Structure formats: structure tokens, C-alpha cells
Amino acid sequence: MDRLEAMAMFLAAVEKGSLSAAAREMRVPVPTLSRKVADLEALLGTQLLTRTTRKLALTDAGVAYAAAARRILEQVQEAEREAAGEFTTPRGDLAITAPVLFGRLHVLPVVAEFLARFPQINVRLMLGDRNVNLIEDHIDMAVRIGKLPDSGMIATRVGSMRTVICGCPGLLAGPGAPEVPEDLTRVPCVASDGPLSGSNWRFRHPDTGATVEVPIAPRLVTTPEAAVDAAIRGVGLVRLLYYQVVDAIRAGTLILVLAAYEPEPAPVHLLHIPRGQMPLKMRRFLDFAAPRLRASLAAIGSGA
């Protein structure tokens, strides 16, 4: 059995969602492709795909094997290009994901500069505040803010990000400004429906380091971008990541409060497969993006 050919057919079936579509893509008869996948499963001694009348689905073993097969085929293609003297510059497509606002403000400028530097690489930049599965969604690299769950991925740290409380000058004028987290129960608050959503706002006591949680009954719940605007309009105090409010703070339209009680800054990472398994295009992006993101985070005073 040609194992690389079988891997390619298996991945085609995964990406197309059906054996017939994969067979058309590979220009082989459906029985041939089906047999190759079955032979691969027999060789491995495990089922990779579950087949129904409507679609294919990966088993747990299939998810892991698909990721490994994709890396192997990319490395083989890269080795062939290098041996043929064709791989003088990195090329191909990269899929990158990042939180919406952070991606627009800090990742997109890096990607734009990278594209200008490497004209034979194309990037699909997906911005969303929901963490996607890199393997299942065919993502090469992700920007993640916050603690990471255990996984087989490698995390390259590029900085950290404060979680802050702020409000407009008018709301904070006079004796009503909160001095300790518990004071938030008597002032209006605005909550965001992003990563910091929740009915309890968490703080760290500056003397003991103990966690302090305060229940919040927000007057308004909305997106992080709209929460900034609402706070500027005096609707209430808002809790957000520092990069989301730094422009308003610098402009004086929002003021930080309870800074002494801020929790530990959240780490910011680039999440990716081990460097030794990366195709050249990914290594080039990691080497290009990491120092620029570190500089960008340091410039906004995030505590990086």
C-alpha cells in the first residue's frame, strides 16, 4: 500500500465530507478511495471515520491521525521542493485566528506587513471571540488571551494583558467612586458578553493576594466594543481587557479605578504545533509575528 497516497485520500475525504466528493477531487473511482481508506484503517488497527448515509465524521483516533497526516504530507512536499531547488522562499496558505478586537488592532497590522514581506504566502485571518479547535478547524496558529488548557500544542508567550475597571469622569466624580471592590454593588455597572462575561467580578487583594469576588447586577450587557461606548456615556463602570479601553483612557474619556485590586494579568500566547513539525511558512510567520506582538503589547503598557 502507498501510505502517503492513502493519507492524501483520507484527508480529502475528511475535508470534503464524503467519499464521493473526495474521489472527484482526487480523480479516482469511489471504490478505490474507499478501499484505500479501509486499508489505512486496517494497517493502523483502528477506525478513523464513521460513515453514515449523509456524511463522514472523524473518530477520536481519526482527529489525531488527520492532524499528523496533514503535517507529514506538508513536510514531504516541503522536502521535495527543497530537493528540487524550488523552495527558495516560503509559500502556501496560512490560517490564523485571534479575538475580534485584538485581531483587528494588533494582529492585522502584523499580517499586513508579513504579506508584504512574503508575497508567495496567503493568509486567512479569522477573527472571533470563541476559541476554535485548531486541528478540527484546520487552523495553523491562534492568538489566545488567558490561561490555556492542557493540549498537544505549543504556546509561545508574547506578553500579558491586564483586566481593568474603568468609568467616565462624570460617574466617578465625588464621593461615589469605588475604593474597594465591594463598593461596586452600589454603583451602576456594564457587563460584556465576551471572555469576561459572568455575574461575579474577580479581584486580587493587594495585601494578602487573596481572590475577592463581587456579585454584579449589570444595568447593561452588550459586546465589549459597545460596553466601552456605554461606559463613556456614563451608563456604568465596565470591566474589560486593557487593550479594549486603552484609547479611551489615553483620551481621558475613561478613568481606571480599583487598579490596586486588579487580578494577575492574563498571559497572551501564539498557539501552534511543535516547531520541528512546522512547515517553513509557519516558522517564518512565528519568527516574524512573535517579536512584533511583544512590542505591540509593551507599547500599550499591558504589563508584558
Domain range 3-83, CATH class: mainly alpha
Residue 210: pLDDT above 60?
yes
Residue 251: pLDDT above 60?
yes
Sequential DSSP letters for 106-168: IIHHHHHHHHHH-TTEEEEEEE-SSPPPTTTTT-SEEEEESPPPP-SSEEEEEEEE-EEEEE-
Q: Are residues 87 and 118 in contact, defined by beta-carbon separation less than 8 angstroms?
A: no
Residue 236: pLDDT above 60?
yes
From the candidate CATH numbers 3.40.630.30, 3.40.50.10300, 3.40.190.10, 3.90.1580.10, the one assigned to the domain spanning 92-159+266-299 = 3.40.190.10
Mean pLDDT of 81-107: 79
Which of 14-18, 81-85, 216-220, 241-245 is the least confident region?
Answer: 81-85
pTM of the complete model beyond 0.85: no
Phi, psi of 141 (to 5 degrees): -155, 145
Q: Give the closest residue to 295 by CA, choosing from 27, 162, 110, 103.
A: 110
Residue 53: pLDDT above 80?
no
For the chain, the domains span 3-83, 92-159+266-299, 163-261
Same fold for the domain at 3-83 and the one at 92-159+266-299? no
Q: Tell me which amino acid residue 143 is.
A: V
Residue 135: pLDDT above 70?
yes
Query: How does residue 304 score in pLDDT terms, banded at 50, 70 and 90?
Result: very low
Residue 269: pLDDT above 80?
yes
The rounded mean pLDDT for the chain is 87
Domain range 163-261, CATH class: alpha beta
Largest Cα span, the chain:
79
What's the rounded Cα separation, in Å, for the pair 186 and 175?
12
